[in-house]
Amino acid sequence: MADGPPSVWEWIARNWDTGRVDSIKNLLGDHLIMSLVPIVVALVLALPLGLACVRWRWLYQPTSGVMNVFYALPSLPVFMLLIQFTGLSKTTVIVPLTLYACAVLIPSVVDGLGAVPEHVRQSAVAMGFTPLRRLVQVELPIATPVVLAGLRVVAVSSISLVSVGALIGQGGLGMLFTRAYQNPFVPPALVGIVLIVLLALVADGLLVLAQRLLTPWVRARRSA
């Protein structure tokens, strides 16, 4: 009698580290790279852009409008357009995800800095704080909860959207979905879904932990 199809656990054991580029281990690594790089790059770009929009208010509306246009573009057509410039590479996925992340983070930075009470700024000036010191030691810490809230949205959405890149052969764990579709078989799809959800939960949990560590006064105020 022929053996039946392998169970999910058997399939994972056989495909976790096969030495091939499409092993679960390698796909997980690719997924991490293509989701984490846009988050980090977007944060690096959003902070100075957000600061500029706060400093020169007239800049916020056009910047926000451009970012919203990018955010409204479906990811797959953008991937297809970028292929002619970046080829079938991770960059083709990373660039649009970075733009999507910036569209969320820039308003978060602007809102966070805008939430800093004016009397707090004036107190820092009266204490002799330079603009840079005031920004680093006063304004950014107060804005941290709002910025990290936006970063949590960006992290979860980036981890999810990477899988769309499977349609151009660069989707990390999303490649498991195409494998399940091409050869009707449930385990690859289940593994892909579970791992993506776990990555999103871990990323969100780490950002929540970071917020608690960076803003201890918030916990103290709530417990008071």
Could you report the per-residue pLDDT of 100-128, keeping only the tens digit for each? Answer: 999 999 999 999 888 888 888 888 888 88
CATH number among 3.30.70.890, 1.20.1250.20, 3.40.50.300, 1.10.3720.10, domain 20-223: 1.10.3720.10
Is 201 a residue whose pLDDT tops 90? yes
Q: What is the pTM of this model?
A: 0.85
Is 223 a residue whose pLDDT tops 80? no
Share of the chain above pLDDT 70, in %: 94
pLDDT at residue 41, rounded to an integer: 95
- DSSP for the chain, written as a single string: ----PPPHHHHHHHHSS-SSTTSHHHHHHHHHHHHHHHHHHHHHHHHHHHHHHHHSGGGHHHHHHHHHHHHHS-HHHHHHHHHHHH-SSHHHHHHHHHHHHHHHHHHHHHHHHHTS-HHHHHHHHHTT--HHHHIIIIIHHHHHHHHHHHHHHHHHHHHHHGGGGGGGT--GGGHHHHHHHHTT-HHHHHHHHHHHHHHHHHHHHHHHHHHHHH-HHHHHHHH-
Average pLDDT along the chain: 85
Could you report the per-residue pLDDT of 23-71, keeping only the tens digit for each? Answer: 888 889 989 999 999 999 999 999 999 999 988 888 989 988 888 888 8
